[in-house]
Structure 1
C-alpha cells in the first residue's frame, strides 16, 4: 500500500480551495472514498474514467484498487496534486486537462471503461444525460458510479406514481439498471454543501427491441413538459401518440407520472411501428 499524506494536508500544501464557480466540493474521508470505489466491484487492471478529480481524493482510492485511471480536470490549480499521485502510482494515472463536456470519452479511453466521479454539481446532470442518451447501445462504459445531490439521485431511481418520477428516471431505467448505492452526509465534504448527496450506480442492460431513443425522448419531453395535464393533452403535439395510447391500452386521461417505464417503452414501440 502506497503511503500518502492526508488529503486535507495536500489541499493545504497546494493552497487549494473549492471553487463555487466550478461546482466543487472536496471529499476528505478516505474510508468513505474507498467504499465508493468498491461499489462497481473489482477494478483491478480495469480502465476507469473520473471527471473532476480535484485534489485527488477519489483518484487515490481508485488507484489503490488497482484501476487504470483517466482523470479529466479543468481546474489547473489541481494539476500539481494529481501529478504527485501519478508519481506515486507509475503507469496507472493519466490526467487530461480540459472540459469533460467537450471531450470524446470513448476515444480518450479506447477500451471499455467504468465511470466513477464525485461530479461537479454544475455539470453532473448534463454529463449523465449524455452518457445515457443517443441511439448507440450498448455503450462503451460498463457502469456509472456517480455522486449527485440527493434530490437528483432520487429522481434517477424514482418509480412511477411518485413526485420524483420523470424524464431522468425514464432515461436511466429504460435500458439500464439504476440504484441508489449510498447516501452521503453534507458534513463529509469541504466545504459542506447546503444539501445531502448520494451515489447512484447504473449498469447498462439490453435495449428493448423496436424502440428508438429519439422517439422515447420526444414522448417523455412532451409528457413531462406538461406533467399536470392528462396524456391526451400533453401528447397531442406528438404525431400518432393518441392512437398509440389506444393501441397499447393506456388510458389517455392518465398523467405522465402514473405511466411506468415499460408502458412508455410500449408506447414508443407502437409509435415507431406506425411510422
Structure 2
C-alpha cells in the first residue's frame, strides 16, 4: 500500500497539534472543550494549500444558512486540494473528458475536474449541497448537477444522452471520479462496474479497509468474498494510496483510500453464458453460504453432491474444495460444468 505522503508532489504534513478530545466524559484532570475538534480541523487545513480548506468549507456550508454535515448521508468533506488533484490524476482526467462525479459536496473535487478541462455530470442527493455547487460554478457551461440519489438513479437513461451530446466520438467512454460517501460504497461499486460500455475507469475514495479488500483477490483469506469475484469479473482493481482521516471534515473514525477500477469491455468478460446465473451461483446465498462449507454441500440446490464432486474433479480441484479456494477462473469453469451443460 502506498501512503499519500509518498506521492510526488506530496501534501505538506499538518503541524503537530493536540489530538481532539474523545467523545464521552472528559479525561480526568483535563478540561473538555467542544471547540477542540474544530480547532484541530482548522489547524490541519491551515497547513494545506489550495482554495478548498477548512475555512472555505465552513463558509460554503453556511452560505445558504447554517448546514451541518449529515452523518446519515456520509457527508465528510475533503479539506486537502492535493488529495483531489491526486484523485483526478489517478483517473487520467484531461481536457475534453466527461466525468461522472457522485456526491460533489461543496465542489472541491468538482473544481479540480473543471480545472483539468473536463465536463462534469454531478449527482448529489442533498438538495442544499446541489444548490451550493450550482451556485459556485454558475459561470461554467461544463457542469450539470442532478439532485438525485445515485443508488436510485438510472445512469443509462440520463447520463448517456448527456455524454453523446458532449462527445463527438461516440466510441469514447467517460470516467467516474468521486469522493464517495462511505455508506454507499458497495452499492455504487456494484452499480458502476458492469458499465464498461459507458465508463473506461472508476476512481473512488472509499474507507481504507474497504478499498484494500476490494483490490485484493487473494484466495483462502478471511476477507475473500463474492464481491471480490464480482470486482475481478468486471474490472482490474488497483489500490492507489491511503488518505489520513485528518484530511476530512468532520473527521471520520477511519482513514480513506483511493482505488481505481479499470473497467473491462463486454468482450473481455469471462466466458459465462449468463452473468446473472453466474453471480447467482457465486453469491453469499449460494457458493459462499457458510464460507467454511464445502461446495459439494453449499451448491446442492443446483446439483447433487456427486455431480458437484465430478465437476470439481474435471477442473482440477479437490472434491473437498471450499469457496475461498476458488479464483475467478475456477468459478467460471465450475459454472460451465454445473449450469451450462
Under a length normalisation based on structure 1, what TM-score does the superposition of the two structures give?
0.89
The yes-or-no answer on 1:199 pairing with 2:261 is no
- Residue of structure 2 in register with 1:43 after alignment: 94
Please state how far the C-alpha of 1:212 moved relative to its aligned partner: 2.1
**3-state SS in 1 of match to 2:71:** coil
The yes-or-no answer on 1:123 pairing with 2:197 is no
1:43-93 CA distances to partner (integer Å, 9 max, x unpaired)? 3211111111111111111111111101011112213431243235x1111
Q: How does 1:157-176 map to 2 (within 5 A)?
A: 157-158=215-216, 159-176=218-235
The unaligned stretches of length 5 or more in structure 2 are 1-49, 164-172
Query: Which of these residues, 151, 171, 186, is aligned with residue 209 of structure 2?
Result: 151
The unaligned stretches of length 5 or more in structure 1 are none
**3-state SS in 2 of match to 1:224:** coil
Looking at structure 2, the residues matched to 269 and 154 of structure 1 have their Cα atoms a distance apart, in angstroms, of: 30
The RMSD of aligned alpha carbons is 2.0
Under a length normalisation based on structure 2, what TM-score does the superposition of the two structures give?
0.73
- Residue of structure 1 in register with 2:120 after alignment: 69
Larger radius of gyration: 2
Looking at structure 1, the residues matched to 148 and 156 of structure 2 have their Cα atoms a distance apart, in angstroms, of: 15
CA contact (8 A) 2:232 2:328 kept: yes
- Residue of structure 1 in register with 2:293 after alignment: 229
> Residues 108, 7 of structure 1: CA spacing in aligned structure 2 closer, same or farther, 3 A cutoff?
farther
**3-state SS in 2 of match to 1:193:** coil
Looking at structure 2, the residues matched to 73 and 131 of structure 1 have their Cα atoms a distance apart, in angstroms, of: 16
> Residues 162, 186 of structure 1: CA spacing in aligned structure 2 closer, same or farther, 3 A cutoff?
same
Looking at structure 1, the residues matched to 335 and 243 of structure 2 have their Cα atoms a distance apart, in angstroms, of: 36
Please state how far the C-alpha of 1:259 moved relative to its aligned partner: 1.1
Deviant stretches of 4+, over 4 Å: none
- Residue of structure 2 in register with 1:177 after alignment: 236
- Residue of structure 2 in register with 1:268 after alignment: 335
Looking at structure 1, the residues matched to 299 and 94 of structure 2 have their Cα atoms a distance apart, in angstroms, of: 44
CA contact (8 A) 1:86 1:92 kept: no
Please state how far the C-alpha of 1:269 moved relative to its aligned partner: 2.6
